[in-house]
Amino acid sequence: MTSIGDKPLRVDDLLQRNVWDVDHRPHITVDTEKCRLCEAKPCITTCPAGCYILAGNKVVFSYEGCLECGACRLICPYNAVKWSYPLSGKGVQYRFS
């Protein structure tokens, strides 16, 4: 067993602790055209998996590390998030939660 240490882990390090069966079909899509109008971009700080990142002034979304919580769907002020669950049992496979 490795010790986790005294430094905060990055979100990617946390996500790597989980078991995944990532689907090739995205279960969430984001209309990033709408994001250009959005000043606040609350998705960036709200997503617990860091799926929304800011590249310059653009929102870049990736579904692969999604924890399927649904927070982005509620927080998006422009309804830019088309949200569903993965098909065929894919996505995160929780074991200890």
- Kindly list the residues in this chain that would bind another protein in the complex (CB under 8 A): 1-4, 6-9, 11, 14-15, 17-18, 21, 40-50, 67-71, 73-75, 77, 83-97
Closest CA to 74 of 83, 65, 66, 64: 83
Nearest approach, Cβ of residue 78 and another protein (Å): 12
Nearest approach, Cβ of residue 52 and another protein (Å): 10
User: Would you say 49 or 80 has its CB closer to another protein?
Assistant: 49
**Token pair in block for residue 13:** 């390090």
Nearest approach, Cβ of residue 28 and another protein (Å): 12
Distance CA 48, CA 1 (A): 26
Distance CA 13, CA 2 (A): 14
